[in-house]
Amino acid sequence: MATSLDPRPGLTKSHPVALLVTVATPVTVFTRSATGMARTVKVKKIFVSNGSPSFATVDVGTGLAGAFVASFPRIRVEAGMHETISGDQLPNLELAANVTASAIVAAGIGAGDLAVRVQLEVEEIGG
Amino acid sequence: MAELSTITTHRNGPIQPLAKPGENVGVWLAAAWHWYEVIRLEPWQPSNAGIQNFGAIVAGANVNATLATTLEFDTNRVAQLRCMVLDDIRVRVFQPGAAGKFVNVDAHSEIGLLSAQIDPDAALTEFYVFEDKQPLFRIENPTGYNLAQSRVMFWGIQYLLKPLAAEPARATKLMGTGLAG
């Protein structure tokens, strides 16, 4: 369950593109500001492109390796295609951790052009 | 002459002069009031010239209190200034260097990007600089990534002053230090 008061001011941020090059291996796609009183994070936009020759299912959530927990329903991206989810398509979820992503691809995921690329736009809440 | 409050304070809303030519001000410095008559005043605009870059800061680190060199004013001048940050930084003010400004018993309040959203006129950031008694700024990078620059923009009003030999009957009092200074 998530509760938030929308008029709370936030800072809109984006991180560089993250590459998923290994199946089911989460990587950090947004590092939250955690010095002093840590901020929380709302994901406002998810951009995924799939360079592999198979369709990909991508989870966005929190935690790395065995601690990964998906925060949103899975996103399916066809081979060579991209998917953008933004605005009111996304639940207004507030996360208190770095945002991570993980991909499952039947075959062919790899470095370079074969990677699944993820970029987020987020809003950080906190001073 | 309009009566002015003798209580030291900023005023809410866009910055406006706290004293006009012909009126008196007291400036608190070195644990004493110093009295002046305002001769003239002019603005110090929010502009490129009023921006100080405190430099690159790696993720989660801070730059120790650094003199705001852009805020040195000439002899017999005091400036009424406000500020806003242009990068995602947290700023603590010291005036003088050994004394925190905007502090309480347990904490040192900070100016950050969110300050401008809650206090759009930056009224709560107001401070006063007499001649070369500039404040120092400790800059923190709260983010999980390195910042290539950490900029703070200052603007306000500077006053040309004439020293008075004694405390006048009425004056607007400006704190040239933090409460502990």
Predicted-complex ipTM score: 0.78
Strand, coil or helix: A82: strand
B78 near B156, Cβ under 8 Å?
A: no
Q: Which residues of A touch B145 (CB under 8 A)?
A: 15, 31
Task: Give how far B50 is from chain A: nearest CA, Å.
Answer: 24
Average pLDDT over residues B134-140: 96
Per-position pLDDT tens, chain A of length 127: 667 666 777 899 998 999 999 999 999 999 999 998 899 999 999 999 999 999 999 999 999 999 999 999 999 999 999 999 998 899 989 999 999 999 999 888 888 899 999 999 999 998 8
**CATH 2.60.120.340 assigned to A11-125:** yes
Task: Give how far A27 is from chain B: nearest CA, Å.
Answer: 15
List, in order of start, the domains of chain B with CATH numbers: 47-158 (2.60.120)
Out of B118, B140, B144, whose CB is closest to A9?
Answer: B118
Domain ranges of chain A: 11-125
Task: State which residue of chain A sits closest to B140, comparing Cα positions.
Answer: A35
B61 near B159, Cβ under 8 Å?
A: no
